[in-house]
Chain A
């Protein structure tokens, strides 16, 4: 399980299992409530789940792009 590697130390199977269970429950909770979509896309199953995830992916990508162009070493303003 290298992909959930808590900064060099394994978070341990229980933590990963608990988090995965929580995510599954949250996604399945869509069956329990009646959403009132304002538009089309937000009525799809698990919309908030995939949209939240995708939103973060886009923001991370944007941040990497900004970093590639505008990142400078600490103290760039001091010299």
Chain B
């Protein structure tokens, strides 16, 4: 390894992304394929320790700081950019892929950020680039993209305030583990959790992601939430609050995904469900739990993207995304269906698929720490995965009753990307030692023991039985389930409108009484001075002379008194 880095790996993808709209044809294709691979190679070679230091505005910045954890996430992000780039090769909208590469590059930059200011810059770049991805899907995504942008700008404000407070209090810009003992640190944690898709501000995820294009959602699913997991591992490992938060996310994701009619929204909720597992691991905070959270983040980047690619392929080919419009697609899209099954097995943690070697590590850590309730809930949530991406999604889209719109497997570039991620998911599941070697702590865990395998096979098969027997209670229906975003999409505007109406009424009433008062005084003046008013009347000369005489007489009397 070299002692320092010559090029920040993030810049390769960001510059590559900015160049993409200028290129056409083969050159564009070559850049799409090569840029992530170069970034991957550079990220792999970042040495341990601070590899780049600069001074900016009087602050010492460390744009590149390497260790096992940051390399693991950066390499994963670069690999995901490659798979997503191949999948999106025939995406006609040039803005989307340019934004996606800037987005992936920023995620890599955040993974290597050694100080809070660098982290903030890449954090905001991710927010902007991902908003552009949502918007590039066209007019239907405008509203969701705007809501997404506003929520993430709020997150940026929280992070900015937190970082400013942290630097003022500690005097250092370094990004170190943060104990939850001051307001700025709470602000930083809430900004991180917002990006991880944690309730109460979680609804942006199932709201915005499914509105992106068939290729856009693949990128969106991979970077924002996983970069949040990375910074939580780095900054807030062992924060106990995260355990109940993660458990809630795992269960909430299942319940909402199980009700979804839109396959892409189902997958968005399944993403929240999986992130819940990681957050529980971070909250437990032991070396095994953190290893588990990191492995699960890596494994889930790939299988989640794989599942979203299969849904993207269906959307690309049929233009449909609701279960009420599709079904039985395995007949016409066999390869997509097979990849979907691989993704489903991986997310369900079936032995020999990637989730099995990662999620089980988090459960094992909970068991070793004696956290009974956590362990039982994680087991239940592992079973619950069959109610969404584990079984419900493949069943309804590919194997359910046939109502196939005309369809075939998608073009070769999309097929290659899906096959790549399917191979990766199985590869990680079959030979976990290569991934384990990249983890931040030494791994003292054997996933393939007889007891583990039997446990998960039983758990998942009987969960599958439960799904088969009870799927009538979770039928696809042309309906939506209200989420937290109802508060700002319906209640907020309604309250604002009611407030405006009330203000209107009050100001109307004030204006009305002012008008009445004004017209009353006008009338009073008119009564005195108007035509026929007492002061405007023409008085006869005789009366004038009479009153003048009276006045003079009164004066005379007063003079003598």
Q: Is the interface of A mostly helix, strand, loop or mixed?
A: helix
Question: Does A71 make an interface contact (CB < 8 A)?
Answer: yes
Do A48 and B251 contact each other (CB < 8 Å), given the known contacts A55-B383, A56-B470? no
**Given A56-B466, A70-B482: A8 touches B401 (CB 8 Å cut-off):** yes
Known contacts A53-B465, A59-B258, A33 near B401 by CB under 8 Å: no
Is there an interface contact between B458 and A27, defined as CB atoms closer than 8 Å? Answer: yes
Does B400 belong to the interface (CB within 8 Å)? yes
Task: Please report the C-alpha to C-alpha distance between residue A16 and residue B400 in the assembled complex, in whole angstroms.
Answer: 16
Are B258 and A55 touching (Cβ within 8 A)?
no
Write out the residue numbers on chain A whose beta carbons fall within 8 Å of the beta carbon of B386: 56
Which residues in A have their C-beta under 8 angstroms from that of B473?
60, 63-64
CB distance A57 to B379 under 8 Å?
A: no
User: B310-348: which have CB < 8 Å to A?
Assistant: none
- Once bound together, how far apart are the Cα atoms of A22 and B460, in whole Å? 12
Q: Which residues of B contact A55 (CB under 8 A)?
A: 379-381, 383-384, 463
Chain B residue at minimal CB-CB distance from A75: B480
Mask of B254-273 contacts with A, CB within 8 angstroms, 1/0: 11101101000000000000
Residue numbers in A under 8 Å from B412 (CB-CB)? none
Is A66 touching B372 in the complex (CB atoms < 8 A)? no
B458 close to A34 (CB less than 8 A): no
Q: Are B456 and A48 in contact (CB under 8 A)?
A: yes
Given known pairs A59-B255, A60-B473, the reply for A52 and B451 (CB within 8 Å) is: no
Cβ of A76 within 8 Å of any chain B Cβ, yes or no, is yes
A29 pairs with B457, CB closer than 8 A = yes
Q: B470, A48: Cβ atoms under 8 Å?
A: no
Determine the chain B residues whose CB is within 8 A of the CB of A30 once the complex forms. Answer: 454, 458
Let me know if B463 and A56 touch, CB within 8 A: yes
- Is the C-beta of B450 less than 8 angstroms from some C-beta in chain A? yes
Contact B379–A71 (Cβ < 8 Å): no
- Which B477-524 residues have a C-beta within 8 angstroms of A? 478-483, 489-490
Per a CB cutoff under 8 Å, which of B449, B466, B483 touches A57? B466
Beta-carbon contact of B387 and A56 below 8 Å: yes
Q: Is A67 an interface residue (CB 8 A)?
A: yes
Q: In the complex, are the beta carbons of A71 and B468 less than 8 A apart?
A: no
Contact among B367, B460, B470, B478 for A38, CB-based, below 8 A: B367
B540 contacts across to A, CB distance below 8 A: none
Question: Do residues A3 and B469 form an inter-chain contact, with CB atoms below 8 A?
Answer: yes
Within 8 Å CB of A47, what residues of B? Answer: 455
| CA–CA, A50 and B482, complex, Å | 32
- Are A4 and B468 CB-contacts (below 8 A) given A29-B457, A60-B387? yes
Instruction: Report whether A66 and B259 are in contact in the complex, using a CB–CB cutoff of 8 Å.
Output: yes
* Interface flag for B368 (CB, 8 Å): yes
CB distance from B347 to the nearest CB of A (A): 15
A26 to chain B, nearest CB (A): 5
- Whether B479 lies near A72 (C-beta < 8 A) is yes
B59 CB–A CB distance under 8 Å: no
- Asked if B469 and A63 sit within 8 Å, CB to CB, the answer is no
Contact B481 A48 (CB under 8 A): no
Q: How far is the CB of B383 from chain A (nearest CB, A)?
A: 4
Among A26, A50, A57, the one with the most B-chain Cβ atoms within 10 Å of its Cβ is A26
Q: Indicate whether A9 reaches chain B with its CB closer than 8 angstroms.
A: yes
A56 contact set on B, CB distance < 8 A: 383-384, 386-387, 463, 466-467, 470
Task: Assess the B458–A46 pair: CB atoms within 8 A.
Answer: yes
Q: Does B375 contact A (CB under 8 A)?
A: yes
Select A71's contact among B259, B370, B466, beta carbons within 8 Å: B259
Q: How far is the CB of B348 from chain A (nearest CB, A)?
A: 11
**In chain A, what residue has the closest Cβ to B262?**
A74
CB <8 Å contact, A38 and B480:
no
Q: A29-B454, A55-B380, A55-B463 are in contact. Are A70 and B255 (CB under 8 A)?
A: no
Let me know if A53 and B401 touch, CB within 8 A: no
Interface contact A49-B482, CB-CB below 8 Å: no
Residue in B368, B458, B466 whose Cβ sees the most chain A Cβ within 10 Å: B458
Instruction: Give the shortest distance, in Å, between B462 (CB) and chain A (any CB).
Output: 4
The 8 Å CB contact of B259, one of A7, A26, A67, is A67
CA distance A70 to B467 in the complex (A): 22
B residues touching A (Cβ–Cβ < 8 Å)? 251, 254-256, 258-259, 261, 367-368, 370, 372, 375-376, 379-384, 386-387, 400-401, 449-451, 453-463, 465-470, 473-474, 478-483, 489-490
What 19 additional pairs, Cβ within 8 angstroms, besides A26-B454, A42-B376? A3-B469, A4-B468, A32-B450, A34-B451, A38-B367, A39-B367, A47-B455, A48-B455, A51-B376, A51-B383, A55-B383, A57-B470, A59-B380, A63-B258, A67-B259, A71-B479, A76-B480, A77-B489, A77-B490
29 contacts between A and B (CB under 8 A): A6-B401, A8-B401, A19-B468, A26-B457, A26-B462, A38-B368, A41-B376, A48-B379, A48-B456, A49-B461, A49-B462, A51-B379, A52-B379, A52-B462, A53-B383, A55-B381, A56-B466, A60-B470, A62-B251, A63-B473, A66-B255, A67-B259, A70-B481, A70-B483, A71-B259, A71-B480, A71-B482, A74-B478, A76-B480
- Sorted nearest first, the 9 A-B pairs with minimum C-beta distance are A55-B380, A56-B466, A38-B367, A33-B450, A48-B458, A52-B459, A52-B383, A7-B401, A48-B459
